[in-house]
Amino acid sequence: MAARAWRWAPEMHEVVDTLRAADLPTDLAEATAQVFSCWVQDKGQYDLPVAEALSQLRNRTT
């Protein structure tokens, strides 16, 4: 998932904007965008161990 998830971070930010414009909760979309953004450096790394991908989420600096 990490190898491709980074790709959808910008779209999730668009979802946030759309939800906000409709006066709907944005929490889930914001969290999803943040998770996807954590994996930008893993683009195309299809052999990335799950433990490493999860470690990146634990150690994110935001």
Q: What is the pLDDT of residues 5-26, one digit of tens each?
A: 878 888 999 999 999 999 999 9
Output the average pLDDT for the chain. Answer: 88
* pTM for the structure as a whole: 0.73
Q: Where are the domains of the chain?
A: 2-58
Confidence label for 61 from pLDDT (cuts 50, 70 and 90): low
Distance CA 5, CA 34 (A): 11
Separation in Å, CA 49 to CA 9, 32, 53: 21, 20, 7
pLDDT over threshold 60, residue 40: yes
